[in-house]
Chains A and B, each alone.
Chain A
């Protein structure tokens, strides 16, 4: 579909073939480079910054003794995954609002003036990434918790017999035990790079930060509003997948050098 000019009467097989035309239209748009850059920026930033959090959460939960505490916290932190971005964005906007938001009230008492967090690119980016982490870290931690559960407990005993304290145990037993999981998750998230969640960006973006907040998915949405551009969106989809493939292959190569690739 990406290489044809799709229309209903022709269907997929009989619509006229236009080769790379769709791609040409795509890349002639002045904003395209920026949109692609934004997509990569937002998504890579979210991945790299967000990556350690689920791991840390899982390790911390693992060390906690009180069962009831563990269960409550575990349930709580994985809930945000289920809240729709409409609501979360609404909460964020209220919290950071210039006139009545909690954050600005604090800020004002410290600096005397309110700060438009959502209007400046830097702070917007920080809020974007943090909200993404907050929402998903608890859910992703589950995979790591499972991994921790399958580490042989006798390894810990052996380590402590050898005189290792908790720190050393974590470093030498826990981390290596889940290393293959970590690598796997990392490679898989590389495959998702182009997918910067539509809802999150759409709900949080506004005109002032459009330079960094316009991503592929919101752009497709706007094209879609004008009337279905099947071939164009298919072309964009294909392009996204291509980039993902390249990233995954690269990451896998690197991982293999350290002994644990996907294939």
Chain B
């Protein structure tokens, strides 16, 4: 039948036609230039580069977009190059960057927090070494490196060359161990200085009705979120420790930590559902409702005031809080948690056509004047000097509308150069009683973390640990499930004990090739302990 034949022909032609179309289209490699970008063009002498900028979807209405706003305009007008900003969604930054790199479209200057990702770029030769670049074209950053040689130390890769740019801040307390002093006083207790004392205080907090409401509804201590992490830190449970001059994998400290947590759980001193509390939200709510006696919060940013302190005082006006030192364990006395004083953030794409322009841009972004502008806004318009001689926002609402969200432009901002005005305490208003309290807490926490009788628990800040080669990454992922055994032991009473958990953990470690990890770290430490950026280098950044 004719119809039949006609249809047969169509059936055969269709895929053929599509195939031809596809081939034709793909050979036309879409080099679609995305418009002229939104940045205003300045003098023709300026170089042109593209830069990544995190997009968090939080630009207020009317302020433009993250790649075209007041700040991009200012940076382009006052900077040495024309910068086109490429928005990268914060939650999927690694994936988006992967796509851009794989399609050959990645921007010239990449600013990304994920150290593993940056290292991957290095491994795949997608970024250039910058020693010569700095030597020849840099002014500001070169000076910074002279002042802070750790900048070079922390950004040198295994081939001995420098690849990354970063920012320097002074070392301060990050996580803070908060305790309800009013409860201590009510029950006639002292600040706990050792592990046993901590247990006893937590017990009293749980059983002796410290909030005086006649009900046993309080938790001695939290176990989820950062509080759980701090308890581990107390025992120096950080996986890799130095023993006898060698970097080895630790089991004993981990076991001590898990045993202690199990004791807390079995004695009923913590929230039994802590394992379901994925991001510590419930623990936070318990704290601000005045139900928990010991809790780890933060003192690194003014916002921590309204997260950890203000709501508590609103719910429980008589609450009194102190930030104390982590109690001592048999392994020593450790800092609760500090920031990363030398944080690497920026690398340059190997396909950059104008590396000199990129270097000039980086110099500009790292300079003090740019930093001040980004952080404080236009003087007298957005902010004014306060009693301390530091710039503070003139009108908080207007400031959050116009300035606050430009954080992600500050990835090269050298906070240490802006001291003393950059510290968290100086940004709070001491004339307000609650804020004054929090300033006190910040100082207490700095004392707790930086005084000479506490050490840093791990050998260096997480980001400065060496990046693992490909095959070891899989091993690492596989052994990361060990923590499940520990958690199970904590909650399973007598049916699954700590010894059993560790036996299982060690067996998984072996089966997954944990020895290879051990070899790697051992070797790395032996070869690099004098040149790597370690805890002792971090401690050089204490300032008062």
Chain A interfacial positions (CB closer than 8 Å to B)? 7-9, 11, 25, 29-31, 93, 97-99, 114, 116, 118-119, 203, 206-208, 210, 214, 219, 222-230, 232
**How far does the alpha carbon of A20 sit from the alpha carbon of B337 in the complex, in Å?**
44
B544 near A: Cβ within 8 Å? no
A-B contact pairs, 11 of them (CB 8 A): A29-B474, A29-B512, A98-B272, A119-B275, A222-B477, A223-B474, A226-B116, A226-B474, A228-B117, A228-B120, A229-B470
**How far does the alpha carbon of A78 sit from the alpha carbon of B101 in the complex, in Å?**
40
Q: Is the CB of A207 within 8 A of B275?
A: yes
Shortest CB–CB separation between residue B299 and chain A, in angstroms? Answer: 27
**How far does the alpha carbon of A11 sit from the alpha carbon of B480 in the complex, in Å?**
31
Smallest CB gap from A222: residue in B: B477
Q: Is the CB of B511 within 8 A of A30?
A: yes
Q: Is the CB of A118 within 8 A of B94?
A: no
Shortest CB–CB separation between residue A24 and chain B, in angstroms? Answer: 11
Q: Is the CB of A206 within 8 A of B511?
A: no
Shortest CB–CB separation between residue B485 and chain A, in angstroms? Answer: 8
Shortest CB–CB separation between residue A215 and chain B, in angstroms? Answer: 13
B451 near A: Cβ within 8 Å? no
A207 to chain B: which residues have CB within 8 Å? Answer: 275, 483-488
**How far does the alpha carbon of A185 sit from the alpha carbon of B276 in the complex, in Å?**
34
Question: Residues 117-130 of chain B: 1 if any A CB is under 8 Å from the residue's CB, otherwise 0?
Answer: 10110001110000
Shortest CB–CB separation between residue A174 and chain B, in angstroms? Answer: 37
Smallest CB gap from A230: residue in B: B98
Smallest CB gap from A207: residue in B: B487
**How far does the alpha carbon of A80 sit from the alpha carbon of B136 in the complex, in Å?**
60
Shortest CB–CB separation between residue A19 and chain B, in angstroms? Answer: 16
4 A-B pairs closest in CB distance: A207-B487, A210-B484, A207-B484, A206-B275
A116 to chain B: which residues have CB within 8 Å? Answer: 272-273, 491
Shortest CB–CB separation between residue A2 and chain B, in angstroms? Answer: 15
Number of B interface residues, CB 8 Å?
Answer: 41
A-contacting residues, B268-299, CB 8 Å = 271-273, 275-278, 282
Task: Give which listed residue, B278, B474, B484, B511, contacts A25 with CB less than 8 A.
Answer: B474
Shortest CB–CB separation between residue A25 and chain B, in angstroms? Answer: 6
Could you say which of A30, A224, A228, A230 has the most chain B C-beta atoms within 10 Å of its C-beta? A228
Shortest CB–CB separation between residue A231 and chain B, in angstroms? Answer: 9
Q: Is the CB of B476 within 8 A of A226?
A: yes
**How far does the alpha carbon of A228 sit from the alpha carbon of B112 in the complex, in Å?**
14
Q: Is the CB of B117 within 8 A of A30?
A: no
**How far does the alpha carbon of A116 sit from the alpha carbon of B271 in the complex, in Å?**
12
A25 to chain B: which residues have CB within 8 Å? Answer: 471, 474
Q: Is the CB of A208 within 8 A of B488?
A: yes
Smallest CB gap from A31: residue in B: B478
**How far does the alpha carbon of A226 sit from the alpha carbon of B123 in the complex, in Å?**
14
Smallest CB gap from A219: residue in B: B477
Smallest CB gap from B476: residue in A: A226
Shortest CB–CB separation between residue A96 and chain B, in angstroms? Answer: 8
Task: Give which listed residue, B116, B124, B277, contacts A9 with CB less than 8 A.
Answer: B124
B467 to chain A: which residues have CB within 8 Å? Answer: 227
Q: Is the CB of B273 within 8 A of A226?
A: no
Q: Is the CB of B276 within 8 A of A11?
A: no
Question: Residues 474-501 of chain B: 1 if any A CB is under 8 Å from the residue's CB, otherwise 0?
Answer: 1011101101111110011000000000
B477 to chain A: which residues have CB within 8 Å? Answer: 219, 222-223, 225-226
B508 near A: Cβ within 8 Å? yes
Query: 19 extra interchain contacts, Cβ-Cβ under 8 A, other than A8-B102, A207-B275, A222-B480?
Result: A8-B126, A29-B474, A29-B512, A93-B276, A93-B277, A98-B272, A98-B273, A118-B276, A206-B276, A207-B485, A207-B486, A208-B487, A208-B488, A208-B491, A210-B484, A210-B488, A227-B116, A227-B117, A228-B117
**How far does the alpha carbon of A229 sit from the alpha carbon of B491 in the complex, in Å?**
34
Shortest CB–CB separation between residue A126 and chain B, in angstroms? Answer: 16
Shortest CB–CB separation between residue A227 and chain B, in angstroms? Answer: 4
Smallest CB gap from A90: residue in B: B281
Could you say which of B101, B102, B467 has the most chain A C-beta atoms within 10 Å of its C-beta? B102
Q: Is the CB of A8 within 8 A of B101?
A: yes
B473 near A: Cβ within 8 Å? yes
Q: Is the CB of B120 within 8 A of A227?
A: yes
Q: Is the CB of B275 within 8 A of A210?
A: no
B119 to chain A: which residues have CB within 8 Å? Answer: 227
B468 near A: Cβ within 8 Å? yes
**How far does the alpha carbon of A144 sit from the alpha carbon of B508 in the complex, in Å?**
47
Q: Is the CB of B94 within 8 A of A228?
A: yes
B473 to chain A: which residues have CB within 8 Å? Answer: 223, 226-227, 229
B124 to chain A: which residues have CB within 8 Å? Answer: 7-9
Could you say which of A8, A98, A225, A232 has the most chain B C-beta atoms within 10 Å of its C-beta? A8
B483 to chain A: which residues have CB within 8 Å? Answer: 207
**How far does the alpha carbon of A228 sit from the alpha carbon of B117 in the complex, in Å?**
8
A9 to chain B: which residues have CB within 8 Å? Answer: 124-126
Q: Is the CB of A30 within 8 A of B478?
A: yes
